[in-house]
Structure 1
Amino acid sequence: MNAPRPKHAPLTQFEVVDDTLVVGGVPLPRLAARVGSTPFYAYDRARLTERVALLRRHLPPEIHLHYAMKANPMPAVVQHMATLVDGLDVASGGELQVALDTVMPPERISFAGPGKSDHDLRCAIAAGIVLNLEGFGELERAAAIGRELGITPKVAVRVNPDFELKSSGMKMGGGPKQFGIDAERVPEALRRIGELKLDFEGFHIFSGSQNLKAAALHEAHDKTFALARRLAQDAPGPVLTLNIGGGLGIPYFPGEERLDLEAVGAHLRAILPEARRDLPQAQVVMELGRYLVAEAGIYVCRVVERKESRGQVFLVTDGGLHHHLAASGNFGQVIRKNYPVAIGHRVAGGERETVSVVGPLCTPLDLLADGMELGRAQEGDLVVVFQSGAYGLTASPGGFLSHPAAREVLV
C-alpha cells in the first residue's frame, strides 16, 4: 500500500534525495559505512550554525546567547558551538573541563546546578568562571574555598522565582524546588555576598523549559525582568549579568506547532528599554540548549530482525532506550508519543506498513516507535529517529544490560 507518510514537520529539517536521508551532505548509507557500526548519533554542523543564525536574526542584538551544554556535551559539538555563541553554561565538573578546552574565555562560562562538590567549586573558582549559587551552603563553601585559594569567587545568584513558566514541558522554578534560592530569601543571600566581599555578577532566573507558546514566554520574560529589578535593590553591586534562561521549545510530535520566534523577539525588544534603564550595566543572557541542538541530530540503528506477533509487525533493532531514553518515552513523557521516525532510504516513498520499532533490551519499555507507519523495512535497513540532538546519549542509561555504547559523529 502506498499511503502518504505521517506529517512530521521535523523531517523537513534534513535534505532527502531519491527518498534517502542526507546528513551533513552525506547520504545516510554512506554515513553509516563511514561510522563503521550502528547504533550512532549524527549531528549536522550546518544545522547548528543555521539555528544560531536564526536566533541572531529574530532576537534583539543586546541578547547574549549561551549554550547550555547539558543538552549535548559531545566535545566536538561544544567546540563548534563555542565559535557561534557568546558563552557556555555547564552543569558539572566534567562539562566544565570540556568547556575550558574550547575557545570560549573562562569569564564567559557559568556553572549552574545543585550539589556542586568542593572539587567542582575549587576548579570553577580557580578557572575564573561564574558560579551560579544554588543555596546558602554553597555560598559559604565557595567563599571558604576562595579564601583558601586566594581568589575572589565570581558569583551570581540562581533565583527560584515566585512564578512558573506556563505550558512548559518541565517546570524549573516556582513552588518548592531544589534549584536556586527562593526569591523571598535572595535579599538575605545578597547581604551575605556583600559581607563576604565576593565578586557579584548578577542573577540567573529560569522558570521552565520546552515551551511552544510565545504568549507564555512573554509573560515569563515580563515577570523575570520585574523580579530582577526588584532584587537588584538589595544587590551588593551593579547587576552585570541577567540570565533569563531559555524555555524555547521545539516540536516533537504530530499536531505541535513551531514556536513563533519572531513574536518572542519582538516582545523582548519592547521590554528591554525599561530593563536597560533600571539595570544599565546588565548583559542580558538567553541560555539555550535543546532549541540550539535538538533538530540538528539524528539517532540511527539497524534492523536486526523483522518479526510478527499475532498480527503485529516488530522491527527489532540494535538500538533502544539504553541509548535514547527520551525517544522511548521514559524521559518525562506522561503519555508516550512517538518521536518522528523513518526508514533511512525509504523516507517517504515505496511500500508502507504499520510497525513497532523495538530495541534489544529485556523490557517492554524498549520502544522507539509504537504502531507507526513507515516504509517497509528488512533486516539490515537503517531506522532513523529525528529530533535527537538534545538529551540523547548522555541522558540515557547506557550501562543497562551492558550492550555496546552508541557512537557520536559531527558531520
Structure 2
Amino acid sequence: MTDPLTTALTTRAPHDAPVCRYGYDLDALREHVAGVVATLPERCRMFYAMKANSAAPILRTLAPLVAGFEVASGGEVAKARATGDDVPILFGGPVKTDSEIADALRAKVTRFHVESLLELHRIDAVAAAHGVTAEVLLRVNLAGPFPAATLAMAGRPTQFGIDESVLADAVATVRSLPYVRLVGFHLHSLSNNLSADAHLELVRLYRDTVTAWENRFDVRCEVLNVGGGIGVDYANLDSRFDWSRFVEGLDKLVTTFPEHWREIDFECGRYLVAACGRYAVEVMDVKRNHGVDYVLVRGGTHHFRLPVSWQHSHPFTVVPVDAWPRGLPRPATDGPITVVGELCTPKDVLARDVPVRARAGDVLVFSHAGAYGWEISHHDFLSHPHPEQVFLGS
C-alpha cells in the first residue's frame, strides 16, 4: 500500500505525459525540523541553509521553526525576505558583488559572513554609502585536521574563507574599518559528516580555537557559527546521523563555552530537508548493452544532479504499473540495473548495478531528494520539459 505522496507522484491518466515529478511532504518536514530545533541546547540556534532547497513552500514551512535563513546570493536574500519582513538572514558565500551587498543592507540582513580581506573593504564601503554599520563574522579556513566527510571546505586549499595563517591581518583590517563590526567567527569546515561523535569533536575544536584567538588577538566573540555539515548516508539510509546523541553531548559542551558567546549558530540544509522530498520518473525503455541492463527514464541528471555530483547510486524503489498500451512490446529485466536519463551523455546516471526488477512503464521513486536535487541541476540542457513540483501538506 502506497502513501499519499507516492500515489501523487506515480499516478497519471492514460494520455498524460510520462511521469516526471518532484514531491515534498511538508507535514513530515515540519515535524522533523520542529523536533531538531526543540532539542537544541540554550544559546544554540538553527538556521536553514537555503542553498539545499529554496522552493517557496519549503521556506514558508520552515520560517516559523528555524532561527532564520542562511543565504549565499542576492537572489536568495530576496527569497528569504519574501517569507517575512523580520526573518533573520545570514549572508555568506565566497563572492558578493557590491550590488548584492547593497541589496542585503536594504533588506536588513542580520550579518555577513566575510570570506576575504577585500570583501571586508567592499562591505565597509557599501555600508558607508548607506550610513549603516554592518555586523560581520570572519569565515576562517582552519588548518585542521578534521574528521572524514564527503566534502571538506577547510583544512586544505579551497576557495572558502580566510586562511588561518593570515587571520591577524583580517582582525587588524576589520578594526581599521569604521562601518563594519566584528561580532565573531564562522567555521564551516565539513559537509555531510555522518558521525555524531566526530561532529562533537569538531565543535570542541572550534571552541578551543576561538578561545585561543580571543587571547591572541584581544577580541571578544559574541557569535560563533559552526556551520552545517551534518549529513545523510545515501548508501545506507538506516544509518542515520544520531541527532539525539549529538545534542546530548552538545548540551554538556556548550556549558564549557565562555558566557559572552551569546549565540552558537548552526546552518544546516541537507539534514533538515533531504528526507521530505522524492523524485519520481517513468521508465521509458529497458535494453541491454555490452552485458549491462539499462533502464532509461524520463528525466535524469538535468533534473536530479545529486547522484552524479556525489558519485553515488541514489536509493530508489520500483512502483509497478500494470497498464501498458496494447500491441507494444514491453521490455523488462530482473536486474541488476543501471538507471540512466534522457541526456546525450554517458554521465547521465542516477544509480548503478541495483538488483531489482523493472519494466518499461513502471515508475522509479528516488527517496531523500529534498536537498540538492532540483536546486543544483542543469535544468535546460537539451531543453527537455521541467519536472512537475508537488507539495503535500500545509
Instruction: Give me the TM-score of the superposition, normalised by structure 2.
Output: 0.88
Look up the match of 2:239: 257
User: Aligned partners of 1:31 and 1:109: how far apart in 2?
Assistant: 40
1:292-332 residue CA offsets vs partner (Å, 9 max, x unmatched): 011111111112223344664332211101111112xx213
Change in 2 beyond 3 A, CA 1:37/1:98:
farther
Correspondence 1:103 to 2:81? no
SS at match of 1:23: helix
1:318-377 residue CA offsets vs partner (Å, 9 max, x unmatched): 1101111112xx2133xxx3211112358xxxx964322221111111122222133433
**Corresponding residue to 1:394 among 363, 367, 375:** 375
Look up the match of 1:344: 319
1:22-52 residue CA offsets vs partner (Å, 9 max, x unmatched): 328x55434899x986422111112211221
User: Aligned partners of 2:42 and 2:33: how far apart in 1?
Assistant: 13
Change in 2 beyond 3 A, CA 1:209/1:52:
same
Look up the match of 1:150: 131
> Could you tell me which amino acid in structure 2 is paired with residue 341 of structure 1?
F
Correspondence 1:371 to 2:353? yes
The answer on whether the counterparts of 2:137 and 2:186 sit within 8 Å (CA) in structure 1 is yes
Change in 2 beyond 3 A, CA 1:188/1:309:
closer
Alignment of 1:34-53 (within 5 A): 38-53=19-34
**Corresponding residue to 2:70 among 73, 79, 89:** 89
User: Aligned partners of 2:164 and 2:63: how far apart in 1?
Assistant: 31
User: Aligned partners of 2:51 and 2:105: how far apart in 1?
Assistant: 20
Alignment of 1:220-239 (within 5 A): 220-233=202-215, 238-239=220-221
Look up the match of 1:128: 108
Q: Cα distance, 1:172 vs. partner? A: 1.0
User: Aligned partners of 1:312 and 1:237: how far apart in 2?
Assistant: 61
Give ranges in structure 2 of 5+ residues lacking alignment.
Answer: 322-332
SS at match of 2:256: helix
Look up the match of 1:303: 283
Look up the match of 2:162: 181
The answer on whether the counterparts of 1:229 and 1:279 sit within 8 Å (CA) in structure 2 is no
User: Aligned partners of 1:307 and 1:177: how far apart in 2?
Assistant: 42
Look up the match of 2:328: none
User: Aligned partners of 1:111 and 1:316: how far apart in 2?
Assistant: 40
Alignment of 1:247-326 (within 5 A): 247-254=229-236, 257-275=239-257, 278-309=258-289, 312-326=292-306
The answer on whether the counterparts of 1:343 and 1:382 sit within 8 Å (CA) in structure 2 is yes
Change in 2 beyond 3 A, CA 1:255/1:386:
closer
Number of residue pairs the alignment of both structures matches: 378
Look up the match of 2:47: 66
User: Aligned partners of 1:269 and 1:52: how far apart in 2?
Assistant: 18
1:194-236 residue CA offsets vs partner (Å, 9 max, x unmatched): 2213233321111101011122212211111112222234678
User: Aligned partners of 2:358 and 2:19: how far apart in 1?
Assistant: 20
The answer on whether the counterparts of 1:160 and 1:181 sit within 8 Å (CA) in structure 2 is yes
Change in 2 beyond 3 A, CA 1:31/1:167:
farther
User: Aligned partners of 1:294 and 1:32: how far apart in 2?
Assistant: 29
The answer on whether the counterparts of 1:124 and 1:131 sit within 8 Å (CA) in structure 2 is no
User: Aligned partners of 1:246 and 1:32: how far apart in 2?
Assistant: 42
Change in 2 beyond 3 A, CA 1:370/1:175:
closer
RMSD between superposed Cα atoms in Å: 2.5
1:86-124 residue CA offsets vs partner (Å, 9 max, x unmatched): 111001111111001113625x21111111111111111
User: Aligned partners of 2:12 and 2:198: how far apart in 1?
Assistant: 40
> Could you tell me which amino acid in structure 1 is paired with residue 316 of structure 2?
V
Correspondence 1:405 to 2:383? no
Give ranges in structure 1 of 5+ residues lacking alignment.
Answer: 1-17
Look up the match of 1:360: 342
Alignment of 1:144-223 (within 5 A): 144-197=125-178, 198-223=180-205
Change in 2 beyond 3 A, CA 1:235/1:374:
same
Look up the match of 1:242: 224
Change in 2 beyond 3 A, CA 1:210/1:38:
same
> Could you tell me which amino acid in structure 1 is paired with residue 276 of structure 2?
A
Change in 2 beyond 3 A, CA 1:236/1:199:
farther
1:182-202 residue CA offsets vs partner (Å, 9 max, x unmatched): 223223322322221323332
SS at match of 2:99: helix
SS at match of 1:201: strand
The answer on whether the counterparts of 2:9 and 2:19 sit within 8 Å (CA) in structure 1 is no
User: Aligned partners of 2:118 and 2:221: how far apart in 1?
Assistant: 22
User: Aligned partners of 1:244 and 1:29: how far apart in 2?
Assistant: 40
Change in 2 beyond 3 A, CA 1:255/1:233:
same
The answer on whether the counterparts of 1:59 and 1:262 sit within 8 Å (CA) in structure 2 is no
User: Aligned partners of 2:288 and 2:42: how far apart in 1?
Assistant: 56
